[in-house]
Amino acid sequence: MPTCLYAHDLDGSPADPLPRLLKGPSTTVLAPDGRFRGLASRGADLRAALARHPGATLIGVGYGALAALVVAGERPTDVHHLVLVGPARGWSEPPWCDAAAIPLPPA
């Protein structure tokens, strides 16, 4: 059974419409929850899913596409297809990964 791994954007979630559209009677869709998580953590989730489902199609949107690209570059033999939709360029980590970068409301 073909497997798709979906990595969502910064403002997305596993409940995005795309994973539901990809799911079919003969397709498994896995969508790790990357909300409020940095690139390293998202990559670890994708690597773990690829270890369980080698040969999967890896689909990434926005910041999730950046994580998918990094993981596919590390594990090219585990990725059957790589689909990047609007990949984030020039990002290293989302701002909330650094607690000092979070603006606090006035007291």
pLDDT at residue 13, rounded to an integer: 86
| Burial track 1-36 (b if 16+ CB lie within 10 A, e otherwise) | eebbbbbbbbebeeebebbeebeeeeeebbbbebee
Tokens representing 88 are 């984030």
- The percentage of residues in the chain with a pLDDT greater than 70, rounded to a whole number, is 82
Q: Which two structure tokens, joined as six digits, stand for 79?
A: 């990725």
Cβ 64 vs Cβ 9: under 8 Å: yes
The per-residue pLDDT for range 48-98, each reduced to its tens digit, is 999 999 999 999 998 899 889 889 988 999 999 999 998 877 665 554 445
* Residues 30 and 83 sit within 8 Å (Cβ to Cβ): no
pTM of this prediction?
0.78
Tokens of 102: 């979070």
User: Mean per-residue pLDDT for 21-49?
Assistant: 88
What pLDDT was estimated at residue 104? Answer: 52
